[in-house]
A and B are shown apart, each in its own frame.
Chain A
Amino acid sequence: DADVTQTPRNRITKTGKRIMLECSQTKGHDRMYWYRQDPGLGLRLIYYSFDVKDINKGEISDGYSVSRQAQAKFSLSLESAIPNQTALYFCATQQGSSYEQYFGPGTRLTVT
C-alpha cells in the first residue's frame, strides 16, 4: 500500500459546490502540506500543518480551508468551488527532523 494516499483521485464538480479532498499517510510523519499545481505556475502552497494542533496558511489559502483530524489525516475543503480552482492538488508529508518530503499521487479537480 502507498504511504501517502489521496482521495478522490479525480473529481468533476460544479461551481458553488462544497468539496473535500482527503489525504492519509502511514509514514508517521508530523508535518503535512497541501499544494496545487497549475500549468506554467508550478507548485504553490495552500496550507501546512506541523502537528495536529498547528495549522498555517500558505501562499494561496483564500477560498480553501483545512482540517487536521489526526496525525495521519489532513483534509482540504473548498467551501464554494469556482472554475479557477481547477488544478492538480498534491498532499505531502515530512518528518520534522528531515528535509525529505513525500508526495501523494495527486487529485485532479475540475470545476465546471
Chain B
Amino acid sequence: QKEVEQNSGPLSVPEGAIASLNCTYSDRGSQSFFWYRQYSGKSPELIMFIYSNGDKEDGRFTAQLNKASQYVSLLIRDSQPSDSATYLCAVDVQFYFGTGTSLTVIP
C-alpha cells in the first residue's frame, strides 16, 4: 500500500508571501508527482506535475522534487486570496492522493 502524506493544515499566509506546501511518499519507486488545487465544493484541477529531481517553475508556482528524501513540495510565490483552497498531492499517475493541505491567504 503506497502512502502519501500531507500536513492537513490549515496553513495561513499573508497576501504577497510565499506559501510552502509539502508532501512525502512511501514508495521509493514512484515516478510521477502531481499537485492539484481544489476550491471548496469544486472538483480538483491539476496545477503542476513533476517527474525529475529538482525544481519546475510555472508562473507563481514551483514544484520541487527530491527522490532521495521522498518528498515533493509546492511553493506559491506572491500568494493571492484567490489561492485559498485545498492542495492535493498525488503520486504515480494519480492513483494515490494525499489528504490535502488547506491554504488560506489573508488579505
Chain A residues in the interface with B (C-beta under 8 A) = 33, 35, 40-45, 48, 58-59, 90, 92, 94, 99-101, 103-106
Chain B residues in the interface with A (C-beta under 8 A) = 1, 8, 32, 34, 42-46, 49, 88, 90, 93-100
Say whether B97 contacts A42, CB under 8 Å.
yes
Minimum CB–CB distance for B37 against chain A, Å: 11
B-side interface mostly:
loop
Say whether B88 contacts A42, CB under 8 Å.
yes
Residues in B neighbouring A101, C-beta threshold 8 A? 34, 46, 94
A-side interface mostly:
strand
Q: Given A103-B44, A105-B43, A106-B43 in contact, is the A43-B97 Cβ separation under 8 Å?
A: yes
Minimum CB–CB distance for A60 against chain B, Å: 11
State in angstroms the CA–CA spacing of A40 and B44 once bound together. 15
Q: B95 contacts which of A40, A45, A103 (Cβ < 8 Å)?
A: A45
* A-B contact sample (9 more), CB < 8 A, given A42-B99, A48-B95: A42-B100, A43-B88, A59-B95, A59-B96, A99-B34, A99-B46, A101-B46, A105-B42, A106-B43
Residues in B neighbouring A90, C-beta threshold 8 A? 43-44
Minimum CB–CB distance for B65 against chain A, Å: 14
Residues in B neighbouring A43, C-beta threshold 8 A? 44, 88, 90, 97
Minimum CB–CB distance for A64 against chain B, Å: 16
28 CB-based A-B contacts, threshold 8 Å: A40-B8, A40-B99, A42-B98, A42-B99, A42-B100, A43-B44, A43-B88, A43-B90, A45-B95, A48-B95, A58-B95, A59-B96, A90-B43, A90-B44, A94-B93, A94-B94, A99-B32, A99-B46, A99-B49, A99-B93, A101-B34, A101-B46, A101-B94, A103-B44, A103-B45, A104-B43, A105-B42, A105-B43
